[in-house]
Amino acid sequence: MLHLTEGGGLRVKGEPPPPRERDRGFDPPHQSDTRTVYIANRFPQHGHYVPQKFADNRIISSKYTIWNFIPKNLFEQFRRIANFYFLIIFLVQLMIDTPTSPVTSGLPLFFVITVTAIKQGYEDWLRHKADNEVNGAPVFVVRSGSLVQTRSKNVRVGDIVRVAKDETFPADLVLLSSDRAEGTCHITTASLDGETNLKTHFAVPETAVSQTVSKLESLQAVVECQQPEADLYRFVGRITVSLQGEEIVRPLGPENLLLRGARLKNTKEIFGVAVYTGMESKMALNYKCKSQKRSAVEKSMNTFLIIYLGILLLEAVLSTILKYAWQSERKWDEPFYNEKTEQEKNSSKILQFISDFLAFLVLYNFIIPISLYVTVEMQKFLGSFFIGWDLDLYHVESDQKAQVNTSDLNEELGQVEYVFTDKTGTLTENEMQFRECSINGVKFQEINGKLVPEGVTDDSPDGYMPHLTGEEELFLKAVSLCHTVQINYDQTDGPRDTFLQANGVSDPVEYYASSPDEKALVEATRRMGVTFVGNNGENMEIKTFGRSEKYKLLHVLEFDANRRRMSVILQTPSGEKVLFTKGAESSIFPHARSGEVDKTRVHVDEFALKGLRTLVVACRRFSAGEYEEVDRRLHEARTALQQREERLAEVFSFIERDLELLGATGVEDRLQEKVQETIEALRLAGIKVWVLTGDKHETAVSVSLSCGHFHRTMNILELVQQKSDSECAEQLRRLARRIREDHVIQHGLVVDGTSLSLALRQHERLFMEVCRSCSAVLCCRMAPLQKAKVVRLIKTSPEKPITLAIGDGANDVSMIQEANVGIGIMGKEGRQAVRNSDYAIARFKFLAKLLLVHGHFYYIRIATLVQYFFYKNVCFITPQFLYQFFCLFSQQTLYDSVYLTLYNICFTSLPVLVYSLFEQLVHPHVLQSKPALYRDISKNALLSFKPFLYWTLQGFSHAFVFFFGSYILMGEDTSLMGNGQMFGNWTFGTLVFTVMVITVTLKLALETHYWTWMNHFVTWGSIAFYFIFSLFYGGIIWPFLHTQDMYFVFVQLLSSGSAWFAIIIVVVTCLFPDVVKKVLYRHLRPTSTQKSQVIEAYPGTSCLDSACCFSEGKSGFAWLGRLVERTMSRCDLARVTRWWRNSDPFCSNDRSVLTRSPVAATRC
């Protein structure tokens, strides 16, 4: 017998491998392309042997260890511009004499770094905890002649592992034996590739007989295989078994490898040898390296910080230059009250210039808000609890609530433009159910386990055996025989099925199938009285209403994507040779020569419109001569050494012709609840949905149609089964040309994994052009890393859209980690996706609220928080800069150092924090019912340059009003006290500071739409706290303070009626233009969100053209009165008689999945 060698050559069975091949274990690790695994780690006793080093079996999804947490976390935190900047400022304050204490920068910096480190450390601890659960799972291994229980992390390459039924494989194992004599086992790889069907794996004959621990202990064998790679479907190796002094070499392929994460089914137990462990297993290699995800808001913050850093440097340079320009006159350079020391006179001018520049830098450094980061961190951490507390995201059946693994990306939920979703277990429930069928042109449906013609009710008693015609019985027999279903008999004590008892089957059976459709169909025929009993490889047995029939299995014509059908050739109990075939309608109808073809085709279309997965069933009877020719041609094709696949395809085509059409089936691939509504809502919100699945083409398209991802009127384009770059490029050009020529029809694109690889190799731009022109894209037969490549392709495109990936299996981990936001579904395929995701939810339907409500809230809250922080710090530090023009740029501070430290920490911190936790521009129900509102905040709208410029200019203008309003009031020789006493420097600074605290707090109050008792408490409480604190701080001589500059200053300021008048005038002057601007914009250019606010306030109103109320018979000047009414929330919408504009897309009546037409002119 010939065997394939590693290099591709052949060797005679029993011939020992050459020494170079056999001694691969001597090679240093990773210098060879293969690894040598000695089963049970029985290394050769002779010669010098250096074993290869292999990874242990630990799975690591965490980012930090106890040793690298501090340096790695500090490095990541100081990558933030503000943190690094304040570190530099702190060091400058330590090195030179500056106007403010180092504590003013060091303390906030330490607080920010500590809080962030605690938060990130806690989140990583949760990942460690999840890893420990996996790594600590119990595993049985064969060691020293006995079965030993150990932990998963202790499994080594070469260990013989025992896995029992329904357990997952703890490492990548080469199958050695099973409880079956032939050495086969069945597994499901749902958590790896999303396929729920059963796969059969094999052991080589020489090891299959070792079914006990004692036999395995005496097994002398060596596995040589390739080094670890990520491809789930590729494995090349060989096993050398020593039997009675002879070495037998057998090739190993994917059918011999049991992958980590897969689950053993329909087999009592198996033994396998570990070849790839831990992070070298194929499942782990398909994980993408975990990287720090940064939200678009954080990137905007860094951009704004750079701009403000430029403003800071400009102010510091300008102040330094103006200082020296002013001091060019001697009377200002060295006044009589401030003579220079000898050291100052002899110091270097350059060093003095640098020192002054750094001093101004420190003086103005508060324009960069370090407290912004700690407030953002607190807002994200505290705000993330709302997701877990949301009862609408709680799944009662599984008792699972939504969980947040990474709170850094909360606001990114409001910016998603692309959703990439897995199919199996994410969109579907992994449950198939038979619904309808067509037999000989008559439609039937299943009612109470009976086959009932459409329109007929079932009123027969339970247990009644329905009478079937010959055609109906033949159809059910064809369905129960044309498959590759495996059977497992479960010895249970539960109640038995009525039909099973009637059929004489003593024990309940569990079916396992290579296709979920096959399992659903065989279970359906069992309920209807035709039960598939078993298949021993040669005979298939069924029982028809208790009557046993045995069919001899002659040939199986396997399913393939080109034929899109599968067939079996059987010998009936009467000796007749018959072919049963089933497949897609497009592959059966053209070959049908008899039967009700036209009626069945109509029924198939009706089934498809209901979202059912359809299969057409047919048969062909052979004469003795015909079968002899069929058997001969099949034997020749299957034993051919050249062009075997082409010859088999030719023979299959010869056999599967002149068919007699029997009927069609309709099976429902049960979708999760509200999947179609969720996809529609996402589409109306402007989010594009792509489905990426490892499932086959037909299944994926069927589910896409049933869930609304593809529409029935959509023109489906295909890029599948491309063989070469040139063929792929030509097909892409044809698709692009077809899309350009047809401007009306909506297009959907279907692409498979092989074609995708070719498209991404050299034709990326053309592929992207086709994808962007399609309303929906479906990628099938995708390997896990291919899913990540598709996500990266969109994420890195020139538009840099925000992507979200959602899935439930280990095969989805790569795309979950690659996307800007990764969401895991707590499904039936393990916890790998949940552990590696940023957020986890129990059902796909929860995605709508997570994005449209929570995403909307998080984004508007944090966007306003960021803009407000920069605004209030501009207000804070600009008067300090203006004050230098009045103090000869002597670096004198306008504010007391305590006020400098507490401004961001105490006086203005709580209102914006509470705002960022509770603000709601629109009620959650409105956001869910009007997904189009999501478009208002898309593309980082609230943090674009225009809003940033508005807030910054408003900050500068308010700062000028604070400073010069106070300056004009005080004048040069004006006394504001009743006794004629003059105000001093600290009183002036305190007046500016008081006006500023009140104004910036009321500014946030104007921005607040959703008021709670906490908003009221912190808003008015912050102002009250400032006054109370200032009274205590300035009213008592504090012994621990070096200076008492502020003693009695605040009391003196408040004792002046003119000062109170000035405070009111300046605050009103700052905020009145803002109020006018808001009123005018609401009247003239209302946004969709503002319209929704009015509709929310007045639920009886279904549509509104403007936020202003109009009534009949009013003059044109009446709008001013209505503006006042609107401002005071007294607008009576019952008087509204305005018309909708046709161009306004806000309140579309069109609920189509594909289009949103403008609303027809309708009276409110």
Rounded to 5°, the CA angle 13-18-20 comes to 145
Could you tell me which residue, 544 or 1114, shows the higher pLDDT? Answer: 544
Separation between Cα atoms, residue 302 and residue 84, nearest integer Å: 12
Tokens in use for 950? 């508005």
Averaged pLDDT for residues 64-89:
84
Contact predicate 684/932, CB 8 Å: yes
913-955 pLDDT per residue, tens: 999 999 998 888 888 888 989 988 888 888 888 999 999 999 9
Per-residue confidence (pLDDT) for residue 1094, from 0 to 100:
75
Q: What is the pLDDT of residues 984-1002, one digit of tens each?
A: 677 888 888 999 999 999 9
Q: What is the mean pLDDT of the chain?
A: 79
Banded pLDDT at 1139 (limits 50, 70, 90): very low
What phi-psi label fits residue 844: left (phi over 0), alpha (psi between -120 and 50 degrees) or beta? alpha
Q: What is the DSSP letter of 395?
A: B
Each as own residue / partner, the long-range contacts of residues 401-405 (CB below 8 Å, 24 or more positions apart, any chain) are: 401/842, 402/839, 402/840, 402/841, 402/842, 402/846, 402/850, 403/834, 403/839, 403/840, 404/838, 404/839, 405/123, 405/126, 405/127, 405/835, 405/837, 405/838, 405/839, 405/840
pLDDT of 182 reads 77
Residue-level pLDDT at 83: 81
Q: What pLDDT sits at residue 270?
A: 92
Read off the pLDDT of residues 469-480 as tens digits, 9 standing for 90 and up. Answer: 888 889 999 999
The span from the CA of 32 to the CA of 636, in Å, is 40
Q: How far apart are CA 998 and CA 991, in angstroms?
A: 11
Residue-level pLDDT at 499: 40
Tell which wins on pLDDT, 400 or 490.
Answer: 400
Q: Which of 172, 193, 422, 695 is catalytic?
A: 422
What's the pTM? 0.70
Contacts of residue 1056, Cβ cutoff 8 Å, sequence gap at least 6? 976, 977, 978
CB atoms under 10 Å from CB of 1164, counted, come to: 16
Mean pLDDT on 694-714: 78
Q: How far apart are CA 157 and CA 631, in angstroms?
A: 46
What pLDDT sits at residue 1146?
39
Contact call for residues 482 and 559 (beta carbons, < 8 A): no
The answer to whether residue 517 is catalytic is no
Most confidently modeled range among 39-43, 413-417, 593-597: 413-417
Average pLDDT over residues 198-216: 85
pLDDT at 1144: 41
Residues 1147, 1153, 1159: CA angle, nearest 5 degrees: 25
Q: pLDDT at residue 178 above 50?
A: yes
Q: Per residue in 424-452, pLDDT tens?
A: 778 887 677 888 999 988 999 888 878 88
CB atoms within 10 A of CB 284: 26
Beta bridge partners of residue 142, listed in sequence order: 147, 160
Over residues 20-48, mean pLDDT: 61
Spatial distance between the Cα atoms of 706 and 429, rounded to a whole number of angstroms: 13
816, 829 Cβ separation under 8 angstroms = no
Select from 873, 1097, 1109, 1108 the least CA-distant residue to 308: 873
Residue 116 or 1162, more confident: 116
Predicted confidence (pLDDT) at residue 61 exceeds the cutoff of 60: yes
Asked if residue 741 lies in contact with residue 733, where contact means CB atoms within 8 angstroms, the answer is no
722 — pLDDT class (breaks 50, 70, 90): confident
CA distance 277 to 286: 13
Comparing 1112 with 142, the larger pLDDT belongs to 142
**Residue 781 DSSP SS3:** coil
Q: How many helices (H) and strands (E) does the chain have?
A: 41, 37
**Token reading at 1125:** 């009414």
Give the rounded percent of residues in the chain with a pLDDT score beyond 70.
Answer: 80
C-beta of residue 425 within 8 angstroms of C-beta of residue 808:
yes
Between CA 1101 and CA 1112 the distance in angstroms is 18
Rounded distance between C-alpha atoms, residue 492 and residue 189, angstroms: 26
pLDDT of 347-371, one tens digit each?
Answer: 677 888 888 888 888 888 888 877 7
pLDDT (0 to 100) of residue 957: 93
CA–CA distance, 1135 with 355 (Å, rounded to integer): 68
At 477 the three-state DSSP class reads helix
Comparing 48-52, 1026-1030, 1090-1094, the range with the smallest average pLDDT is: 48-52
- With cut-offs at 50, 70 and 90, classify the pLDDT of residue 497: very low
Q: Give 163 or 338, the one with higher predicted confidence.
A: 163
**What pLDDT score was predicted for residue 1096?**
67
pLDDT confidence of residue 274? 93
Please report the pLDDT score of residue 557 as a whole number.
Answer: 86
Q: Which amino acid is at 996?
A: M
Confidence of residue 1117 (pLDDT cuts 50, 70, 90): very low
- Chain-centroid distance of CA 927 in Å reads 21
pLDDT band at 493 (very low <50, low <70, confident <90, very high): very low
Sheet of strand 263-265: strand arrangement: 198-202, 184-188, 263-265
Is 1145 a residue whose pLDDT tops 60?
Answer: no
- In the prediction, which pLDDT does 976 show? 56
Q: Give CA–CA dist 615/582, Å, rounded.
A: 6
pLDDT at 213: 87
β-pairing verdict for 821-825 and 839-841: parallel
Checking if the pLDDT of 1019 tops 50, the result is yes
* Residue pair 721/754 in contact by the 8 Å Cβ criterion: yes
Give the separation between CA 530 and CA 546, rounded to whole angstroms.
Answer: 8
Q: How far apart are CA 265 and CA 188, in angstroms?
A: 7
Q: In sequence order, what are the residues at sequence separation of 6 or more whose Cβ sits closer than 8 angstroms to the Cβ of residue 1109?
A: 1122, 1125, 1126, 1131, 1132, 1133, 1135, 1136
Do residues 686 and 934 make contact, with C-beta atoms less than 8 angstroms apart?
Answer: yes
Percent of the chain with pLDDT strictly greater than 90? 18
Question: Mapping DSSP to helix (H, G, I), strand (E, B) and coil, where does residue 451 land?
Answer: strand
* Model confidence band, residue 1152 (pLDDT cutoffs 50, 70, 90): very low
Dump pLDDT digits (tens) for 1022-1055. Answer: 999 999 888 888 766 655 555 666 666 777 777 7
Q: How confident is the model at residue 119 (pLDDT cuts 50, 70, 90)?
A: confident
Alpha-helical (H) ranges within 639-684 are 644-655, 675-684
Collect contacts of 397-401 with beta carbons under 8 A, ≥24 apart. 398/826, 398/842, 400/826, 400/842, 401/842
The kind and range of the H/E element at 285 are helix 282-285
Cβ proximity of 515 and 199 under 8 Å: no
Q: Is it the case that residue 181 has pLDDT exceeding 70?
A: yes
Report CA-CA distances (Å) from 115 to 106, 295, 794, 912, 991: 14, 19, 35, 18, 34
- Give the pLDDT confidence of 666-679 residue by residue, as tens digits: 888 778 888 889 99
What is residue 1136's predicted lDDT score, i.e. its pLDDT?
Answer: 40
Tell me the per-residue pLDDT of 519-548, one tens digit each, with 9 for 90 and over.
Answer: 889 999 998 888 998 876 578 889 888 888
User: Is pLDDT of 1098 > 70?
Assistant: no
If one compares 1123 and 473, the residue with the highest pLDDT of the two is 473
Q: Is 57 helix (H, G, I), strand (E, B) or coil?
A: coil
Q: Is 454 exposed, middle or buried (0-12, 13-18, 19+ CB in 10 A)?
A: exposed
- Greatest CA separation found in the chain? 129
CA dihedral 279, 284, 288, 289 (to 10 degrees): -20
Compute the average pLDDT of residues 778-788.
83
Q: Output 227 or 196, whichever has higher pLDDT.
A: 227
Q: Which residue has the higher pLDDT, 698 or 311?
A: 311
551, 555, 559, 562: CA torsion to nearest 10: -140
Mean of pLDDT values over 563-585: 89
Distance separating alpha carbons of residues 372 and 294, to the nearest angstrom: 16
3-state secondary structure 64-78: CCCCCHHHHHHHHHC
Angle at 140 between CA 134 and CA 146, to 5 degrees: 160
Residue 495 in tokens: 């109640």
The pLDDT of residue 619 is above 60? yes
**Residue 1133: per-residue pLDDT:** 41
Alpha-carbon gap, residue 743 to 37, rounded angstroms: 60
Mind spelling out the 3-state secondary structure of 575-588? CCEEEEEEECHHHH
Give me the pLDDT at residue 595, please.
85
| Both tokens assigned to 68 | 């690298």
Res 492 pLDDT > 50: no
Please tell me whether residue 1152 adopts helix, strand or coil conformation: coil
Confidence (pLDDT) at 1106: 38
Give the pLDDT confidence score for residue 978 in this predicted structure: 52
Model confidence at 336, pLDDT cuts 50, 70, 90, reads: low
| Tokens at 72, concatenated | 């790695």
- Parallel/antiparallel/unpaired status of strands 802-807 and 715-719: unpaired
Residues 6 or more apart whose CB falls under 8 angstroms from that of 590 comprise none
Q: State how far the Cα of 873 lies from the Cα of 885, in Å rounded to an integer.
A: 20
- Other CB atoms within a 10 A radius of the CB of residue 60 amount to 16
